[in-house]
Structure formats: C-alpha cells, structure tokens
Amino acid sequence: MPSIPWSCAVLAGATAFPQEKGDPILDVAPVVVTPTRGPEPLLEVPQAISVVDERKLRRLMPQNTPDALREEPGLAIQSSNQGGGSPILRGRSGKDVLIAIDGQRFSNSTFRRNHQYLNTIDLFAIGSIEVARGPASVLYGSDAMGGAINLLARRREIEGHWDAGGRLRFQYDSANEGVVAHADAEVEADGWGVFSGLTARDLGDLEAGSVGDPIGAVDTGGRQVPTAYREQAANVSVVRRLGEHDTLDFVTLYSRQWSVPASERVIPNEKNPSPTDLEREFDPQRLRWMTLRWRHRHPGATVEAVQAVASLNAPVEGRERVRAATPTVRTFERDELTAPGFSLQTALAWAPRHRLTVGGEGYFETVDSSAYDFDYATGVRTDRPTGRYPDGAEYDTLGLFVQDEWKLGGGFEWVNGVRWSRIRADLDFEGLTVGSAGPFGAFDETWNDVTFATGLSRQLDESRSVYGSVSRGFRAPNLDDLAAVGDFAAGNRVPSFDVDPEKVWNLEIGANHRDAATRAGGAVAVAFYRDLLVNEYAFTLAGEDYFVVDNSDHAVIWSFEAWVEQQVIAADARGWSHWLLFQGFANFGRNTSADEPVSKVPPPEAMVGWRVEGEGGGRRLPWRFETFARGALEQDRLAAVDELDPRIPEDGTPAWWTLNFRGGVRAARGLWLTAGLENVFNYRYRIHGSGIDAPGRSLVAAVEWIF
C-alpha cells in the first residue's frame, strides 16, 4: 500500500553477536507501523519497502544522511555538490519524492527538482530511515509520486525503570579528509525519557578516482575544488509517560552548514569549460524543526490509538554568488520559510477483522525572500526587485484521509484508502518583468484532488507473502514551479502561472520472504504519468536561455526491483556464518508526448556481495567482514533538457563499477571498531545527474563506544 513503513532493513546486516545496549536483535518478522499509520506485520503490507536501521548504519559508516541510503534497492542519490544528496525513487526525484520526519511533512514548497535538504537532517538524530517505493498520496498527500522517505527521530522510550547511557563516535574518511565527531546521552527516570546529541562535520575537498577519464570534468588532477564545507548539529527529545496508555513527547532538530559550494556551477566541465561564476555557495544552510506529539495506545479497545501532532519547520537558506563578468560584485539571496503544521488521526477497530484509520493534517507555509548586490569596489548595495520567490508568498496544504484494513481470512488482507487534498498558493510579484515576459502580478489559486489506493496481500506461510496494488497519486505545483526567479542547471527560470497538478496511476505486484536464513523480495511496477511539469524554452536574453514550467508531458515508467540476503552456511566448524547479498533495480521511462526518454531516470544499478560473520564467545570477539561490487550501466537515454544539463556528459553518463571491502569487530562491551576500503581500484565515475564525480579510493575508519 502506498505508505511509509517501519521495519528492519532488507539488507540490514544481521549478525549473531550477543545482544547488548546499542546492538539490537534483527526482527525476522517485524511489525511495521506507518504503511497504514498503525501496527501491521511486514508480510501483510502490499508495498515494496526497506529500512535502514541502527545496525545497518554502523555497517555502512555513512558521513551523512544521503550516504545512508546509497545501497537501498530502487533508490539512487544524485549530488550536485558534496553537501547535496537528492533521492531518486522509481525515476522521480526532488519534489516528486516526499520526505517526512516521524510521519510529518518535511518537504516544502521551495523544494527543487534536485536539492540538498535531506543532507540538512543530522544522521545521528535519526533512529532509522524508512523507504516506501511508489505513490504514497493517500496517507501523505502531494509530492509522494515516486515514493516517500520517513526519518524516525531518536527518542528515549519509557521502559519503566531508571537507566542512563550514551554514545561517542569518531569517523575519518580519506577521500575528503573528512572528520565526523558525535556525542549523545540519554536517561530515563520516573516516567521521563530524555535524549540529546551533538555532531560536528568537517569535510574537505573530495578527491575523485584517478583511473579512467574524467566524467565531464576538465580538471583530472586530484581533488575537486571547491567541494569542502563544515556543519554542526544538535538534537533534543523528551518523552513523558502520562498514564498507562498515554505519552507526550517533544523533538527538536537543528543543523547549521557553512559555505557549502555549488560545485557544479564553478568546476569546469566539457559543456561549460569556462563557468560564468567565480564563486557560488549556500550560506547559511540551516535546519530548524520541532514537533510536539500526544499519543494514546490501547490495543484491544474499539479506539486502538489516537495521535495529535503540532510541528514547526523553519529552514533558512542563503546563497552567495560572484560572477566572472563582475568580480567585485557579490549577490546575496536569502529565503526563510516558516511552516507550522498539525495532524490528528485515530485508529478504530470498528468491526471484526477491520481496522479503520481516519485523520487529517494541515501545513501553512510563508516564505520571506530577498536578494541584493553589494559592490566591494564602490561599497554600494543595490536591492533586487525580488528574491528567488516573491516575498511573503504563502502555500497551504490540507488533507483528510480514511483507510480500512480488512483481514479476509485465508492469509488475505485487503487495504483500501481515499484522501481529499486541498492546496492553495497565494503570491504577488507586484509587476515584475523578466525580459519579454511579464509583467507578473498577484496569483491566488487553489487545487483540490481526490486520490485512492487499494492493495491485496496474501501471506502464503509464516515467512512468505505476495501482493498487488493499484494507486493514484498527484503533486500540486509548488512555489518552485510557479514563482522561482533565477537560474537552474539548464538556464534561467521565468514565473509560470498557467500550470496544473501532475497525476500518476501506479500498478504494482511484489513478493517478500523473511525468515532466519532469508530476507528477500522483489517488485514490478508501471506508472502512468499525466501532465508532468517540465521546463520549456521561452526566450534568450543577454546570451542566456530562459525557461518556463508547463504541463506538457505524459509518460510511462517501468520499475523492476529485487533484493536478497541469503544465509548460505549457518555456521561452519569455526562458528562462521556466510551470507550472499544482492540488490538491483532498473527503471525505464518514456515521455510519450515528446517521444523521448524521461529526464533524469537513473540507469540500471546492482550490488552483489559476500558477508562472513564470526560469533563471539570465550576469548573470541564477534566480528563481520564483507566484500561487494556495486555498479551501474551507461545512461545514454537522455531527454532534450538532459542534453542541456552541464552535469550530464555529452554522450551520457558512462557505466561504472567499484570493488569494496568493509568490516567491524566488537572489541569490548559497547566498543565497536569498523573500517572499510571503498573503490579499491580507484576508478573515476559519476552517479547519473550528479554535479561532481564520486569518491576515489577511500579508507574509512570509525570507533564507537556505546555505554
């Protein structure tokens, strides 16, 4: 069912180590809670899902949140710079993939087609990350066309006894001489639970591989300059038990990134050997997030659960630019968004074998946007007529949903849901003109939409299930579609008021297998898109191309996904167990209106590996080691706009593959030592659509003490 699940990861890296604090046991048959916004066994969920849990995060050793998703089936990460990381699900990216924190909308109306906002969420503030592939519009509204990513904040849950602990972690990565340091602490006492953490990142310029030709870059010598940036982050969560069935919790997340280079704009490449910008960076890039949540849980009662959440999303993005034509003039842009929100839902056991989820939510965004030029030679400041968006623009999202889970018997479960959504945009350019376009004035438009989903699952036995689903999703035009003024990858943007929501019909079948020795699955989906919003050429001004956004395209995207983690040897004479690992996906999209490939669809990608794990006991320390190859085919199926994109080489993105090793040992109780050697042969390659080349040979080492 189009939704966001809670489960253990398909490739979570289960080990036979004895359990201790910070070393959770893999749940062979986990219960997921958010595909239906309530508890549901994984094998009964009619959707392709995966989760990155704490154990997998330790194994992957990611530097940031996008890094943690790079090996998830069906998902690619596009990075225009080292501070980026835009997820692509089933051929759709950026604003077509919903990002949520604890089920509350993190995506906002300023999200671009490719963006860096997932990287503003500190990885160490997150307990697990859930990935749902396919439309999720019934429960989560607009934007979830390709899928949804839900990040679950770390909390100290109430267990009924006094306890305290914490974690210290230090990690080094040679590819960017990057250092990540983190500390957190938690305590439970007298019905209260508190968790708090601090993180610092200092990432240097990223060094690409030296074997092979540069992927679109002119400079082949070593590090990609500029790509370095710094970050600091903090988080606090407080949980209070109010009674046997009720809890209240508060979460706040904060991060601040300094001088994040827009590397793709200043590093020369074959399409743009002489960049027009001398400097281009995001500063500040700031996350401010808060939620207050009340939950009532009473399994077995008619009203099984009630949840009310108030949230505040208030990010700040600054941009600075120095053009080569005017080296003494620096342009400053600043967007500050304020988005209070609420959600209310209840779960009712309204009839035998039925569970009904009813709810509503609303988010109310206001954008303060400004821009000015400062000439350091003359000391003169000149205000621009508008920022990237009209100052004071408003964007409201409302939704009501209902979903029924019906256990039919014989292992069948049928889930049906419907949602009404209302989106309103209100802005005023006050007579702005852009070249021959305009003048642009006030715009006040409301879109209403009804989406639905139906999914049938059949549990064949205790470990295997199959499913099928049909769903309809949509995405209303956001402020970036309607009102962005400024440049993007292929040129410059002009406001576009005559647009309608995108729509998608998705058909999907899949299967899951989970037991102590096998965690595997697969899915096949076809999505029919109508009225896709695309950039179309408008005019040329002062040698630069300008584009408008328009509903001009219908498209079809086929998606194929498979993943397996198979225990080949349970335990040999030395107590070592052996696992075969595989995951792969392929998306094939055709723009039937323009008779060309769908833009930015990643090429087929796969990973195959072998993992060995040693049990602890006596003087033996528990350990794990794995080797894997990961790669992608060439992507030369390009849309017309891709051919203009300087991030994509003239003939498409070449095929690539890497060989990698990593392992870890629990050296003492709570003390983990992990290390890896990635891209062993130091190949130079690029993820399709990215603005920089991927890391070359890299030694990664981390030490973590959980106490």
pLDDT per position as a tens digit, 448-484: 999 999 999 999 999 999 999 999 999 999 999 999 9
Q: Is the pLDDT of residue 694 over 90?
A: yes
**Token pair for 10:** 């398909």
Residue 201 DSSP label: E
Sheet arrangement for strand 147-153? 48-52, 126-133, 147-153, 97-101, 104-105
Q: How confident is the model at residue 415 (pLDDT cuts 50, 70, 90)?
A: very high
How far, rounded to the nearest angstrom, does the alpha carbon of residue 292 sit from its chain's CA centroid? 23
What CA–CA distance (Å, rounded) separates 26 from 41?
Answer: 15
Helices (H) and strands (E) in the chain, counts: 5, 40
Nearest Cα to Cα of residue 522 among 93, 47, 27: 47
Contact at 8 Å (CB) between 183 and 167? yes
What CA–CA distance (Å, rounded) separates 510 from 655?
Answer: 28
Kindly report the number of other CB atoms within 10 A of residue 607's CB atom: 22
* pLDDT at site 1: 43
Q: How far is CA 69 from CA 62, 123, 131, 698, in A?
A: 9, 11, 9, 18
Q: Is the pLDDT of residue 220 over 80?
A: no
Q: Is the pLDDT of residue 23 over 50?
A: no
* pLDDT at site 22: 43
What CA–CA distance (Å, rounded) separates 270 from 340?
Answer: 44
Nearest Cα to Cα of residue 527 among 113, 84, 208, 147: 147
Q: Is the pLDDT of residue 12 over 50?
A: no
Contact at 8 Å (CB) between 341 and 363? yes
Q: How far is CA 149 from CA 152, 232, 266, 295, 314, in A?
A: 10, 23, 31, 22, 20
Kindly report the number of other CB atoms within 10 A of residue 313's CB atom: 23
Nearest Cα to Cα of residue 447 among 379, 368, 501, 520: 501
What CA–CA distance (Å, rounded) separates 33 from 17?
Answer: 27
Specify which residues 188 forms β-bridges with.
Answer: 163, 193
Contact at 8 Å (CB) between 237 and 155? yes
Q: How confident is the model at residue 340 (pLDDT cuts 50, 70, 90)?
A: very high
* pLDDT at site 566: 96
Q: How confident is the model at residue 213 (pLDDT cuts 50, 70, 90)?
A: confident
Kindly report the number of other CB atoms within 10 A of residue 398's CB atom: 17
What CA–CA distance (Å, rounded) separates 155 from 655?
Answer: 42
pTM of the full structure? 0.94
Q: Which residues lie below 8 Å from residue 299, measured CB to CB, with a gap of 6+?
A: none
Q: What single letter denotes the amino acid at residue 564?
A: V
What CATH number labels 31-706?
Answer: 2.40.170.20
What CA–CA distance (Å, rounded) separates 594 from 589?
Answer: 12
Pairing verdict, β 412-434 and 393-409: antiparallel
Contact at 8 Å (CB) between 162 and 150? no
Q: How confident is the model at residue 373 (pLDDT cuts 50, 70, 90)?
A: very high
pLDDT per position as a tens digit, 386-409: 999 999 999 999 999 999 999 999
**Token pair for 704:** 């973590």
| C-alpha torsion sign, points 425, 429, 430, 432 | negative
Planar angle of CA 432, 434, 436, nearest 5 degrees? 115
Q: Is the pLDDT of residue 207 over 90?
A: yes
Count how many Cα atoms sit within 13 Å of the Cα of residue 246 in the half-sphere of its side chain.
Answer: 7
DSSP 3-state of 471: strand
* pLDDT at site 14: 30
Q: Which residues lie below 8 Å from residue 221, measured CB to CB, with a gap of 6+?
A: none
Q: Highest-confidence range of 22-26, 507-511, 549-553, by mean pLDDT?
A: 507-511
What CA–CA distance (Å, rounded) separates 151 from 346?
Answer: 21
Nearest Cα to Cα of residue 204 among 340, 89, 63: 63
DSSP 3-state of 542: coil
Q: What single letter denotes the amino acid at residue 593?
A: S
Q: Is the pLDDT of residue 25 over 50?
A: no
Mean pLDDT for 520-541 is: 93
Share of the chain above pLDDT 70, in %: 93
The chain-wide mean pLDDT, for the chain, equals: 90
* pLDDT at site 701: 98
What CA–CA distance (Å, rounded) separates 108 from 338?
Answer: 10
pLDDT per position as a tens digit, 566-613: 999 998 778 899 999 999 999 999 999 999 999 999 999 999 999 999
Nearest Cα to Cα of residue 487 among 263, 217, 258, 265: 265
Contact at 8 Å (CB) between 561 and 73? yes
pLDDT per position as a tens digit, 90-105: 999 889 999 999 999 9
Q: Is the pLDDT of residue 35 over 80?
A: no
* pLDDT at site 212: 81
pLDDT per position as a tens digit, 142-169: 888 999 999 999 999 899 899 999 999 9
Backbone φ, ψ for residue 324 (5° rounding)? -65, -30
Which secondary structure element, helix H or strand E, spans residue 173, and what is its range? strand 163-173
**Token pair for 404:** 């029924």
Q: What single letter denotes the amino acid at residue 189?
A: A
Helical H segments across 378-429, by residue range: none
Q: How confident is the model at residue 11 (pLDDT cuts 50, 70, 90)?
A: very low
* pLDDT at site 573: 77
Q: How confident is the model at residue 72 (pLDDT cuts 50, 70, 90)?
A: very high
What CA–CA distance (Å, rounded) separates 104 from 693?
Answer: 33
Q: Is the pLDDT of residue 28 over 60?
A: no
Q: Which residues lie below 8 Å from residue 379, measured CB to CB, with a gap of 6+?
A: none
Q: Is the pLDDT of residue 314 over 70?
A: yes
Q: How confident is the model at residue 9 (pLDDT cuts 50, 70, 90)?
A: very low
Residue with tokens 């002009």: 494
* pLDDT at site 543: 83
Q: Is the pLDDT of residue 115 over 60?
A: yes
| C-alpha torsion sign, points 53, 58, 61, 62 | positive
DSSP 3-state of 94: helix
Planar angle of CA 695, 696, 700, nearest 5 degrees? 75
Pairing verdict, β 491-493 and 544-569: parallel
**Token pair for 31:** 């219960």
What CA–CA distance (Å, rounded) separates 78 from 258?
Answer: 21
* pLDDT at site 44: 74
3-state SS track over 273-320 = CCCCEEEEEEEEEEEEEEEEEEEEECCCCCEEEEEEEEEEECCEEEEE
